[in-house]
Amino acid sequence: MAHIEPFRALRYDPTRVALAKVATQPYDKITPEMQEGYYASSPYNLVRIILGKRGANDGPADNPYTRAAAYFSDWRRQGVFLQDPQPSLYRYTQQFPAAGGKKHLERHGFIALGKVEDYADGVVFRHEQTLAKPKADRLDLLRATRAHFGLIFMLYSDPAAEIENALASADPPHMDSQLMEPPPMEMRDEYGVLHRVCGISDPGIVALLRDKMREKKLIIADGHHRYETALTYRNECRESGAAAGPLVSGVPGEVSRADAFVEGQELAPYELVMMTFVNMDSPALVILPTHRVIHSLPSFSMDSLRAGASEFFSVEEADASISAERATAMLREAAHTGTALLAIGRDRVFLLSRPKAPASAFGNLSLRQQGLDVVQLHKCLLEGALEISEEAIRNQQNVTYIRDAEETMAAVRSERADVAFLMNPARMQQIRDIAFAGEVLPQKSTDFYPKLLSGLTIYALE
């Protein structure tokens, strides 16, 4: 069962800083250009903690992690971060334009602490592979700061939207003014997404949501590396015999969460991690594709690609000057026959459709995975036709990942890459079936949009 807890989040003091100047996209979505922009926007921007700049003279005593810990400690002491007066859950609403921009969607979720569970326990399920380097980076940051700054994006199933309806019943106009609800926060990010966070400390609503979540299984949408980092850190603390004492805020006598117990046993702070829970059955859950840009191949030609791809797909030449909008529409239309991919060269374009790969191309992968566009792309084209090894793909030696179709195509047409592959996104039902079957997809197989901002709430372990 999923175990959640309210907590007393640390949040930016709105009288000191504007939230839009200090909150960021998740650390792994921050480009070098974005990092520079965040640094310039405010001396208190969270990027200094979650993705600090590296220096030529960095060493054990002075590096991005030690500096992050110093910033965090200083900002708490200065009152840049304030702690909410009582344990709360936090309703998180995002408003954003749908594909094509003709209408807006509104996605509802809530932020809470969730118990860190081993995958084998059948409560939390992953759907993507992880890499060692990002996990080592996040673990060093967690060890240094003893705090969680980003939100792990968790999905649960609720076709009747009972949890979303319960959240709606906790709108501020219906709250008891004596409850001292944490003040709402609102900002619009660089992609035009409106983010709104509102605290809920009503004991009745909190108890209802905790009860409803007990029957849920969770799928990690975004944050696989951070979740597995929390698992590793939990195990380190258990092995070291770390105490399960009250979670202090740094201010004598104040704790960051309500006492947390499971089956009569108190949970230590490291047994919990900050999560945002979203209904996977919501029509506002948007999954985008992540396209592949292939570069630095020792030898490549579109003719050789066509010959190799013909073993796995029907190949049709398309208009070489095709626009990103038309390419996306062509993919959607071709998807009716199964997997459809577009290979974009510098002066040629191929539509790859009507898959015909033999089962041997997929090794031991299940039929569930074999039907996914991203798996067909990796196994048939990247590993098969182009002979890029799994290790090279994992190490991103020849593969770059880009969300935007126009940017993907520009990378090739500007001669910065050999070829690019555009694809349709995976469907939620496919992801659900694969995750609950205990299977995992290649890294960056999904792109849930919009992202959850970092810095809206912070969970300090001490």
Summarize pLDDT for 112-151 with one digit per residue, the tens.
Answer: 999 999 999 999 999 988 888 899 999 999 999 999 999 9
* Model confidence band, residue 257 (pLDDT cutoffs 50, 70, 90): low
pLDDT of 254 higher than 90? no
pLDDT at 255 over 60: no
| Dihedrals phi, psi of 354, to nearest 5 degrees | 50, 65
pLDDT band at residue 262 using 50, 70 and 90 as cut-offs: low
Q: What are phi and psi of 160, to 5 degrees?
A: -85, 0
Whole-angstrom Cα distance, residue 109 to residue 163?
9
Q: In terms of pTM, does the model score above 0.85? A: yes
What are the residue ranges spanned by the domains of the chain? Answer: 4-286+450-460, 290-424
Which one has a higher pLDDT value, 128 or 100? 128
* pLDDT for the residue numbered 394: 80
Element (H, E) at 419: strand 419-423
Residues 329-351, mean pLDDT to the nearest whole number:
95
Percent of the chain having pLDDT more than 90?
Answer: 82
Q: What is the pLDDT of residues 162-202, one digit of tens each?
A: 999 999 887 654 444 455 566 789 999 999 999 999 999 99
Q: Give the model confidence (pLDDT) of 79-94 as tens digits.
A: 999 999 999 999 999 9
For residues 139, 140, 144 and 145, what is the CA-based torsion angle, rounded to 10 degrees?
-50
CB atoms within 10 A of CB 241: 6
pLDDT averaged over every residue in the chain: 91
